Amino acid sequence: MLRFAQALDTQLRAAMERAFPEAAAEAIAAGRPLDPQLAQASKPEFGDFQANGALALAKPLQQSPRQIAAALLAELEADVAFGALCLPPQIAGPGFLNLTLRPEVLAAELRRRLTDPRLGVPLASESGAGSAVAPVIVDFSSPNIAKEMHVGHLRSTIIGDSLARVLEFRGHPVLRLNHVGDWGTQFGMLITHLKQVAPEALTRADAVDLGDLVAFYRQAKQRFDEDEAFQATSREEVVKLQSGDSVSRRAWQLLCDQSRREFEQIYGRLDIRLSERGESFYNPYLEAVVADLEAADLLVVDAGAKCVFLEGMQGKDGNPLPLIVQKSDGGFNYATTDLAAIRYRFAAPPAGDGARWVIYVTDAGQANHFAGVFQVARRAGWIPEGARLEHVPFGLVQGDDGKKLKTRSGDTVRLKDLLDEAVERCEADLRRRLVEEERQEDDDFVQQVATTVGLAAVKYADLSTNRITNYQFSFDRMLALQGNTAPYLLYAVVRIAGIARKGGDLGDGAATSAEPQAVFPDLLLFSEPQEWALVRELLKLDTVIAEVEQELLPNRLCSYLFELSQVFNRFYDQVPVLKAEPAARASRLALCRLTADTLKLGLGLLGIATLERM
């Protein structure tokens, strides 16, 4: 619908200029051209779009909105291009113009999409939404070395991956960065502790696994908090590491490798691509951050620490909040690293990434951290004009009880166990269903379906809620065959594949080798309201994807795919397809084909694979 919206917007603007030349000229001179306020129709019975611009003009023109709407309508009716696109418009309510696209225009657009691998979704460069050369950076997942990857990281991974996929599909070069926590004081304690209790872990690559490391880390932290001598040695160890001491470096490298192997397993299962560029990468740039801030006259020394006082952000005592850049002992912190990262990401190559848009996907608890870091980066002059810098926050993952997700014994949930359980539950459900339906399937089939559906369910449950709210994790809900769930959507795809198996030619090479061009007639004919509802729903894909890109909300895409599946199921339950007479049959099969393609594409952008049978 984007193309139509753009064409209509242009035609409406021109009509306004012709109907009210003086007001239009004045508005242009004032830098605020008259706006037809084109929007999607609020209800299907109002047509496809409505233009509300007449209302805002009533006062300046001293005419009633309906009079203004009538004048616009007269101009539109004289416009041949408009007439080719829309049926005669209706004036409604106080002065809205209701616009309905011509059926033959909708049918032709649908036909065009059958042979378009992008299904009508333009590239961002074609729709003027930003340049396609400067990379967009999505900073997501970003777990910490020697610590377990937890459900918060899972959310970041799933949401970040989906946003990256949408941006890539729109043609942006995307840099998917894993900002792993691989630097800082925790390594001092961990290395000191391991030297004493498990020195082999520091010299042999596979001496310990992540579970052991996490336990060692806990012990080290406890000693650090209780034992002053241990504290002092740990601090010395950090200094050694940061100054490049070869023994410390090698120990650090091994620890990172061990964690990395575990992370990679999760990424592999979830089909996530990421480039690791951890905190340590920015170590050489930390001094430059301090120097830049000093030169910009932003640094204040407060109780020995170098900090920047934040504008408009107060602490509990009402005093301006400082962002500490360098601690009194000379050490740097999480925020300093993030400042160095921003500086690097926006800097022109080869000194940096030359990004024009940077997105951080982390829990909402880090909102203040990013607000502070972004403010300092702007004041330091590191953010180019027109660049976008965004924190994409998300809520907590809660258990069924509304509390933080925990295992029954009260431990934090390991991601591996969580994914395993989703797949196991799926397998059990599937085996039960096979018995009920008296179906015979081999183990490969069961495994493949259970894995695909289980992982899809975990991802979809996360993506389909508005990310900003907390999200209640429930296997039962996410695996249900009914409702806004992955199984429901996957089932719609399976249903359509079933049509091909029953002899319906969907032109996708399954039932025939012919291309859609040959299979579907040039003129598609629709008569039933269920068909038109499905046509209109299918044509919304481009608008929805542009919105997801703009608002960075994958749940918009989920709602759309759910709505599409429902509209499709209504159509397929109420209108004959395979038994229809030939002309109607071909047009209806075209609807089935495009529905399957749209669901596959949309689910693909959510990182979810589809099945032909389940």
Residues lying near ligand ARG in the complex (CB under 6 A): 139, 142-144, 179, 181, 338, 341, 360, 362
- Which of 193, 345 has the CB closer to ligand ARG? 345
- Which of 79, 363 has the CB closer to ligand ARG? 363
Q: Please report, for residues 6, 122, 517, 544, 596, the alpha-carbon distance to residue 536 in angstroms, rounded to integers and kept in the order given.
A: 17, 18, 21, 13, 15
Q: Which two tokens stand for residue 359?
A: 């997105």
- Which of 361, 497 has the CB closer to ligand ARG? 361
3-state secondary structure of 346: helix
Question: Cβ of residue 369: shortest distance to ligand ARG, in angstroms?
Answer: 7
3-state secondary structure of 489: helix
Question: Cβ of residue 277: shortest distance to ligand ARG, in angstroms?
Answer: 10
* 344, 285 contact by CB (below 8 A): yes
* 163, 552 contact by CB (below 8 A): yes
Cα 452 to the center of its chain, rounded Å: 20
Question: Cβ of residue 167: shortest distance to ligand ARG, in angstroms?
Answer: 17
d(CA 516, CA 560) in angstroms, rounded, equals 25
d(CA 165, CA 531) in angstroms, rounded, equals 30
Query: What are the E-state strand segments in 340-382?
Result: 357-363
- Which of 324, 341 has the CB closer to ligand ARG? 341
Question: Cβ of residue 360: shortest distance to ligand ARG, in angstroms?
Answer: 6
d(CA 513, CA 547) in angstroms, rounded, equals 36
* 145, 256 contact by CB (below 8 A): yes
Label residue 483 exposed, middle or buried (CB < 10 Å: 0-12, 13-18, 19+).
exposed
Backbone CA torsion sign across 26, 31, 37, 38? positive
- Which of 82, 217 has the CB closer to ligand ARG? 217
DSSP state of 511: S
- Which of 99, 189 has the CB closer to ligand ARG? 189
- Which of 143, 607 has the CB closer to ligand ARG? 143
- Which of 138, 194 has the CB closer to ligand ARG? 138
- Which of 105, 387 has the CB closer to ligand ARG? 387
In three-state form (DSSP H/G/I as H, E/B as E, the rest C), the secondary structure along 388-452 is: EEEEEEECCEECCCCCECCCCCCCCCCHHHHHHHHHHHHHHHHHHHHHHCCCCCCHHHHHHHHHH
Question: Cβ of residue 124: shortest distance to ligand ARG, in angstroms?
Answer: 24
Question: Cβ of residue 336: shortest distance to ligand ARG, in angstroms?
Answer: 11
Question: Cβ of residue 142: shortest distance to ligand ARG, in angstroms?
Answer: 4
* 414, 148 contact by CB (below 8 A): yes
What single letter denotes the amino acid at residue 473? F
Question: Cβ of residue 396: shortest distance to ligand ARG, in angstroms?
Answer: 13
DSSP state of 609: -
Cα 484 to the center of its chain, rounded Å: 18
Question: Cβ of residue 308: shortest distance to ligand ARG, in angstroms?
Answer: 17
- Which of 114, 180 has the CB closer to ligand ARG? 180
Residue nearest to ligand ARG (CB): 142
Question: Cβ of residue 403: shortest distance to ligand ARG, in angstroms?
Answer: 20
